[in-house]
Structure 1
Amino acid sequence: MIIPFEQHCLICKQSSSHLICGYCKKDLVLFELANYDFNLMLNPKVKKGLAKVDFSNVVALSDYQWPLSKLVTGLKFSAYIPNAKALATLFNNHCLRDISTLPQLILPIPLHKNRYFKRKFNQSIELAKQINKLSHIPLNTSSLYRNKATQAQTKLSAAKRRQNLKHAFIVNPKSNLMQYQHIALFDDVITTGTTMNYAYNTLKAAYPHLKIDIWCICLTLAP
């Protein structure tokens, strides 16, 4: 006898045919991307929060708040892959379906090898894998490396974040990015944008012709 698998909503824990049930999905507060031509840098609050970055195109699902913040931390610290599937599905359906020109490639932000060996997990890669499955945009995890074992950014000031990340990334000399014109850099959460900005500038220095969009699940916006 085969016992059917009973799936539960990741938020309310009630029985559901989807990882996020219809009721919880309706309660989510997501960015109205169409109001900003699918570029949140046209949103004054986002622009103010990311005032010191060099990139100009940002796509994100939501502000970093419950319940999506809980799904992100559950993925990051407990390696709970269903959270990646749920978040990627939301991102694909809400953020990507109506964008007229999608990137040719997704590059997730890498971890330094020491942190990866300790954690055995990179949440940004796991999310990007799920987005790749849904959107069919190719995924590349070998072109950008974390060259420097940096401190965790969470408790550092803006100035110390910048110093912490100086020379943190390198482009793989065997990278084949020259064949692309448009890519997306992806991370799970963007706070000040410092990490993403250093990765962006490292890629632009190596490939000035590239159009680079910035993607993330959540933005941590100032109140």
Structure 2
Amino acid sequence: MDWRTQWRQLQRYFIELLKRSVPNRCIACHQSVDSGGSGICSVCLQAGLYQTPVCLGCGASMTELIRYCGQCQLSMPIKIIAPCSYHQGLGRWIAAIKYQRQFAVLEALTNALHQKIIQLANEDLLSMPQAIIPVPLHPKRQRKRGFNQAWLVAKPLSQQLGLPLLDTHLLRVQATKEQAGLDGKQRRQNLHGAFTLTQPLNVQRVAIVDDVVTTGTTVAEIAKLLARQGISSQVWCLARAEAPELL
């Protein structure tokens, strides 16, 4: 059994374990949640989600549900689909997934992301991909952390949407520094050549899945790699950290 198969089995076990460990009180307001709830109540969840349509390019608030704001229509950047802003309400709990192994909001936000994807597809604002690719961790970092938060988002989405999960096709070959705290130039330098494909992909459209998109450097690096194979990409994430001037 190779290490990739072992990691998939371990992560499946990890999903079942975290489902059993979600608290029965809301992580934000500490009120009880319904039996079988997600660890965050519906009131706190809804308060943290986007209240207006946002541009799929930059994340700016808009008055109507369209793909891009006027500025992004000029450049047509990669589409980023997220149910909420990292800076407004739920960001601290999303960070806790990765850094504190606190999974209270994971299921609820993954479901909110699923609903956002379906809404945009029904409005013909995005084309559904043919497969899902989680952003990989370097094997050393994954062994240290014990899980890949992007995979934990991608796995239930693949099941809900009936899309293949291509979790062995993309490999992180460089043990890069954490992106947090780096500026845009440093992020690009840090990730240059960090990813490679282990085998050809027989698809034309994929969704790259991550927990949070900040500057978009990581997903842009992967999208460029896929574009060289004639594959177009969109990005799905639990939250996006917009530029300060857009908040």
For the residues of structure 1 that align with 2:179 and 2:234, how far apart are their CA atoms?
22
- Tell me how far 1:6 sits from its aligned partner: 8.2
Q: Which amino acid aligns with 1:93?
A: Q
Aligned to 2:24: 7
- Tell me how far 1:76 sits from its aligned partner: 0.8
Q: In structure 1, which of residues 77, 80, 98 is the aligned counterpart of residue 102 of structure 2?
A: 80
- Tell me how far 1:152 sits from its aligned partner: 1.1
Is 1:138 aligned to 2:164, yes or no? yes
Normalized against structure 1, the TM-score is what?
0.81
Deviation sequence 1:98-148 (CA, Å, 0-9, x none): 414421211011011111111112111111112223333221111111111
Q: How many pairs does the alignment contain? A: 206
Structure 2 unaligned spans of 5+: 1-21, 56-63
Q: In structure 2, which of residues 84, 88, 92 is the aligned counterpart of residue 70 of structure 1?
A: 92
Aligned to 1:159: 185
Q: Is the 8 A contact 1:105 1:137 kept in 2?
A: yes
Q: Is the 8 A contact 1:61 1:217 kept in 2?
A: yes
Match of 2:83, SS state, is strand
Q: Is the 8 A contact 1:108 1:128 kept in 2?
A: yes
- Greater relative contact order (Cα < 8 A, sep 6+): 1
Q: Please list every run of at least 4 consecutive aligned residues from structure 1 whose deviation after the TM superposition is greater than 3 angstroms.
A: 33-37
Q: In structure 2, which of residues 45, 48, 51 is the aligned counterpart of residue 25 of structure 1?
A: 45
Percent sequence identity is: 29
Q: In structure 2, which of residues 211, 215, 233 is the aligned counterpart of residue 188 of structure 1?
A: 211
Q: Which amino acid aligns with 1:197?
A: A
Q: Is the 8 A contact 1:33 1:95 kept in 2?
A: no
Moved more, 25-34 or 97-106: 25-34
When the two chains are superposed, the root-mean-square deviation of aligned CA atoms in Å is 2.6
Normalized against structure 2, the TM-score is what?
0.74
Is 1:60 aligned to 2:82, yes or no? yes
Change (3 A) 1:81 1:6: closer
- Tell me how far 1:80 sits from its aligned partner: 3.1
For the residues of structure 2 that align with 1:36 and 1:152, how far apart are their CA atoms?
34
Q: Is the 8 A contact 1:103 1:184 kept in 2?
A: yes
User: After superposition, where does 1:166-181 map in structure 2 within 5 Å?
Assistant: 166-172=192-198, 174-175=199-200, 177-178=201-202, 180-181=203-204
Aligned to 1:218: 239
